[in-house]
Amino acid sequence: MQRHERLFQPVDEGPARRRPCRTPARARRRAFTLLELVVSLAIMAAGLLAVQALLVRQSKQVSRLERWCQPHPTYYVVSQSDKWMRKLGAPASLETQAGQTAWTSPVVSPFDYKVTLNSIARSADGQQVSVRVSLNLK
């Protein structure tokens, strides 16, 4: 009987084997705080916004480039017909449609001038031409 009682005697597991009770301090240590979550969400949102802005800018740039660069454009070169434009070395106009004429001088003078070309200076990029001429009535 004594042996039987000893067998069914509740065993004291001691403090190490006992299930530890969760204190509020331990629960706070294991979980994230609201501030941490908000900060991490803000950082992730900023990163996503940056990636989205990059994507939008890149797609706009690609579409603009595609519009600008036709794969196989065809140009019709129209040489200058005005003799002064030819003397000045004006470039030919590149038209996208056939049958267009180059620039001609709209000035129709009732007087007859003698035009003397004094000097020509072209800018480095070729976009501007400076000409000094002198006009004398014939």
Residues found near other proteins in the complex (CB under 8 A): 14-16, 20, 23, 26, 29, 51, 54, 58, 61-62, 65, 68-69, 71-77, 79-80, 85-94, 98, 117, 120, 122, 126
Nearest approach, Cβ of residue 38 and other proteins (Å): 19
Angle at 119 between CA 115 and CA 120, to 5 degrees: 105
Give phi and psi for 19, each to the nearest 5: -70, 120
**CB of 16 or CB of 137, closer to other proteins:** 16
In the bound state with other proteins, the residue whose beta carbon lies nearer, of 38 and 92, is 92
State which residue, 2 or 101, has the beta carbon closest to other proteins: 101
CB of 68 to other proteins, least distance (A): 7
Residue 124 sits at the vertex; the CA angle it makes with 71 and 104, to the nearest 5 degrees, is 70
For tokens 């001038």, what's the residue?
A: 113
If the CB atoms of residues 110 and 126 are measured against other proteins, the closer one turns out to be 126
For 46-69, the DSSP string reads HHHHHHHHHHHHHHHHHHHHHHHS
